[in-house]
Amino acid sequence: MNRVRVVVIMATAIGTVMALTGGAQADPGRPNNHIEGDLPVGTALVKYSTYRTVPASWPNVDIYYDNKPDISIKLGLRHILGYQITDSVELGSTSRTYRLGTGIDAGTEFAINARSTDYAFGANDRHWGGQLYW
C-alpha cells in the first residue's frame, strides 16, 4: 500500500470517529434541562414540584444562570421527603455557573427551593431561569 493511500485511510477513519462522537459538550454525560420560575410578591419560599434523580456518575448539581429577575434570588435543593438538603446559594450575575449541591448521594431525588432575598413588589420582574446540570 502506498503512503498516500494509508494517510487517506487514516484521515477517513479519524473523521468518522469524530463525526460519530459528536461535538464537545460542557458536561458530557450529565443530565441537563432548562429550568425557570416566577417568584411571588414578597419573600415567600417557592417549592417547585419537578423532581430529578442524582446519577451515580456525578454527585453535584449546578445551574448556568441566564435570566435574572429585578430582585436577588437564592436557590437550594429539597429532598423528595420535603427537607432541604443543601444550603441556599444566592445567584448574582448571569452567564455563569453556580454549584447548588455537591457530594449528593446517587439516587437522591431533589427539587428546587427558591426565594427572593429582597422584598419583591408586583412591578418587579420576578422571572428567573437557567440550565440545570446534575
Give the model's pLDDT for residue 30: 77
Greater pLDDT, 70 or 19 = 70
Give the model's pLDDT for residue 57: 86
Give the model's pLDDT for residue 72: 95
Q: 84-106 pLDDT, tens per residue?
A: 999 999 999 999 999 999 999 99
> Which helix or strand (DSSP H or E) is residue 115 part of?
strand 109-116
Residue 101: count of CB within 10 angstroms of its CB? 20
pLDDT band at 7 (very low <50, low <70, confident <90, very high): very low
List of domains in the chain = 29-133 (2.60.120.380)
Q: 28-62 pLDDT, tens per residue?
A: 567 889 999 999 999 999 999 999 999 988 899 99
Give the model's pLDDT for residue 3: 60
Calpha distance 133→123 (Å, rounded): 31
Those residues with Cβ within 8 angstroms of residue 58's Cβ, 6 or more apart along the chain or in another chain: 27, 29, 30, 134
Question: Grid cell 420535603 — which residue?
Answer: 82
